[in-house]
Amino acid sequence: MRKLIMLGTLSLTLLLYGCGSSPRTNYYLLTAENISPPSGETPALGIGPIEIPEYLKRDNIIYKRQGNKLQVATTDNWAEPLEGGIVRVLTLNLANQLNTHNVRSFPWHPERAPDYGIKVNLFTLDANDSEATLSAEWLVYRPANAETVQRRISKLQVSLPPGELRAEQVALAYSTLLEQLSDIIASVITADQADK
């Protein structure tokens, strides 16, 4: 009987120790390109709405494996809602690229509409063992009269280093893809301003 009690105590101790040593959760942020504070007032930009697929609306980082298979990370999380991180990074990138600190998020006051509104509907933001991809429909328009400046679907890719896919590589790759998307949108606005 004594051996049975000691064995039960030892098993309970090991079980409690195992529960106390669960893996630590890591948190990651999307980052904007290296920026210097903008000094201009124009153009006034309105960012949003930004829409992302439902499968990305979770704390965990999602990886795309072969075909339609998704892998949900168990210990790698976003430090903020992904949708909010995308808005933040696009805002910082566009403010820097267009040298304006006159940027606001959707919805804005109708009597203080910006010069340009930017809407993004993200279709995919995925990473596998070799590359990260972003595909999105985006629209640049004039909120004052709802005139479309340009609407386009863009698909962007960035290669990932060989070897096991790591969360920090995914966060960096997604940040790079958002920078590329910002570059495309900024070039459209710059060209439109030059045509005025």
Q: How many domains does the chain have?
A: 1
CATH number of the CATH domain containing 131:
3.40.50.10610
Domain carrying residue 52: 2-195
Three-state DSSP class for 147? strand
Residue 21: pLDDT band by 50, 70, 90 thresholds? low
* Predicted local distance difference test score (pLDDT) of residue 9: 55
**Secondary structure (H, E, C), 81-119:** CHHHHHHHHHHHHHHHHCCECCEEECCCCHHHCCCEEEE
pLDDT digits (tens, 9 = 90+) for 149-162: 999 999 999 999 88
pTM of the model as a whole: 0.86
Evaluate if residue 20 carries a pLDDT over 80. no
